[in-house]
Structure 1
Amino acid sequence: MKKDIHPEYHEITVTMTDGTEFKTRSTMKGDSIRLDIDPKSHPAWTGVHRLMDTGGQLAKFNKRFANFGLKRGE
């Protein structure tokens, strides 16, 4: 195995969306990471589907594609 080509493997603190923390090891730079999505909040694990409009993206999408699709009454 070649020497000095692998990144440093060190301990980091992971902060979940609800504020709980745990320690793990990673090659990521820095000593902590804050998650935006985790198994406690993601619909794939919770079964609760909700649309979150971040920065108006959902409204922008709906406005752009409001008239797209099948025409009714034909």
Structure 2
Amino acid sequence: MKLGIHPTYKKLRIKIGEDVFETNSTLNVEEILMDVDYRKHPAWTKDGLNVINESNKSISDFNRKFGGLKFGAK
């Protein structure tokens, strides 16, 4: 291995609410403060299923409006 071409790993603290996790990283900071707790976010807790349904509704509306279009077919 060549010397001096690899980044330096150092300790990194990640704070999420009251919890603190330690890991190693090449970031030039010592600490990251997370403003969103991934353990309570609807994307991971599945509390936001209505958002997914709204997205599917939009897709259905699009397909209903443009479903008859044929691209490249003669």
For normalisation by structure 2, the TM-score amounts to 0.54
- CA shift, 1:2, in A, is 1.6
More helix by share: 2
**Residue equivalent to 1:39:** 38
- Give unpaired runs (5+ residues) of structure 1: 50-68, 70-74
- Give unpaired runs (5+ residues) of structure 2: 49-61, 63-74
**Residue equivalent to 2:22:** 23
Matches within 5 A, 1:5-24: 5-16=5-16, 18-24=17-23
Rounded Cα–Cα distance in structure 1 between residues aligned with 2:18 and 2:5? 35
CA displacement, residues 4-29 of structure 1 (integer Å, 9 cap, x when unaligned): 0111101111011x231111111111
Larger radius of gyration: 2
CA RMSD of aligned residues (A): 2.3
More strand by share: 2
For normalisation by structure 1, the TM-score amounts to 0.54
Rounded Cα–Cα distance in structure 2 between residues aligned with 1:14 and 1:32? 6
